[in-house]
Structure 1
């Protein structure tokens, strides 16, 4: 994940205002944008979530819709490796992750 995040991060001069990162929660990896709000607080906005399904040996990929719930991302419903997940999030044919 570290090389992916390093490649996707914005220019150093704006990272105080906008940056990206990731977190690991159980079997899931969540990519998020980190934004500074007008009052100086920080907002972490989820971009994508990949969950390892151990019984099937696949990653399931999700995106967060306006209802603030995770929904399966059909072009990447099930992939074998985390590298495939990251390639798909970058390609983003439906414009769900990066707009």
Structure 2
């Protein structure tokens, strides 16, 4: 489980989701692919990527330490972890449906 981060993009080795920095001068230049419409600080984007990684790892389903980390990362984004699960699931279903059509 690793988030790869540069000055402009964050990717995951667990998930196709990503974060990117807009080339505008702004106090919140970051966006998450799975959280559209939200402008974020770098730390928030990283928390969002880590949250996605925790939720993407089926080995962590019963891990209480991971549950605490999930709650922590969701809190940084000011969303409920349940909302994050729903948003990420919707994106996964959309990708699967698009693959079926292709």
Give the TM-score of the pair, scaled to structure 1.
Answer: 0.41
Give the TM-score of the pair, scaled to structure 2.
Answer: 0.40
Q: Which has the higher contact order (CA 8 A, sep 6+)?
A: 2
Greater strand content: 1
Greater helix content: 2
